[in-house]
Amino acid sequence: MKISVFVVSVILFASIFLPLAYLVTKSARTEKKIKNTLLKFGTENKLSIDAVELHGNLILALDRTHKKLLYTTRKTILSNIQIIDLPVLSECQIRTLRNKGKNLEWVSLELANKEAKQNIVFYEEQQDSGPVVDPMSSLNEAEKWKNMILPLLKTA
């Protein structure tokens, strides 16, 4: 009787925790692969990437030496990398959209100068693809990146 209870317990434990452990390790490997791909792209293009961050579908990287911001999405890592030259920009603001003043529907970081604006979307409620992110954590992440980018912008 004791052996059967032990065997059933082991099977239940394994059926619950082994899939979870697999998902966690797979996610960590994927993130590491994405970061290594972006770092390799940086070295090929003579950039010294200081910070790489994955937030949902968004991938951001910052080169403080050359004052460049790189961003792309998980689906188009190398085929659609946007490189923004920060010294030509003069503004960095967080833009949000709320439904009836309550819930966040959209969070972005707006980089602009007199000629152009560039929006980097951190959260979009209608986005169905990619990992699910919390709107408030997206707002905090946008604030963190704003604080990292502001010192690198053109001084007025």
Question: What does the pLDDT read at residue 60?
Answer: 92
Question: What does the pLDDT read at residue 155?
Answer: 65
Number of Cβ within 10 Å of residue 122's Cβ equals 27
71 and 137 Cβ atoms separated by less than 8 Å = no
Instruction: Determine the Cα–Cα distance for residues 56 and 131; give it in Å rounded to an integer.
Output: 5
**In the structure encoding, which two tokens stand for residue 120, read together?**
């980097």
Find, among 124, 122, 118, the residue nearest to 69 by Cα.
118
Instruction: Determine the Cα–Cα distance for residues 126 and 105; give it in Å rounded to an integer.
Output: 8
Question: What does the pLDDT read at residue 25?
Answer: 94
Question: What does the pLDDT read at residue 18?
Answer: 92
Question: What does the pLDDT read at residue 99?
Answer: 80
Instruction: Determine the Cα–Cα distance for residues 64 and 86; give it in Å rounded to an integer.
Output: 10
First to last CA, the chain: 79
- Which residues in the chain land under pLDDT 70? 1, 101, 128-131, 155-156
